[in-house]
Amino acid sequence: MSHILPKPDKKFFISWLVCFITMYGLSYVWHGIVLNDFLKLSYPKDLFLIIAGLVYFGIALGMTILTYMLKQIKDSFKYGIAIGGIVGIFIYAIAFLLGISFNAEVDLQHILFDLGWQTFEQGFGGLMCGWIYRSLYIREKRLSH
Mind giving me the DSSP string for 36-92?
-GGGG-SS-HHHHHHHHHHHHHHHHHHHHHHHHHH--GGGHHHHHHHHHHHHHHHHH
Helix 10-27, helix 45-70: angle, nearest 10? 140
pLDDT band at residue 1, thresholds of 50, 70 and 90? Answer: very low
The answer, yes or no, to whether residue 5 has pLDDT greater than 70, is no
C-alpha 75/C-alpha 70 separation (Å) is 10
pTM over 0.85: yes
Range with top average pLDDT, 4-8, 30-34, 53-57, 131-135: 53-57
Mean pLDDT for the stretch of residues 53-72:
89
C-alpha 129/C-alpha 64 separation (Å) is 6
Sign of CA dihedral 32, 83, 11, 55: positive
DSSP assigned state of 124: H
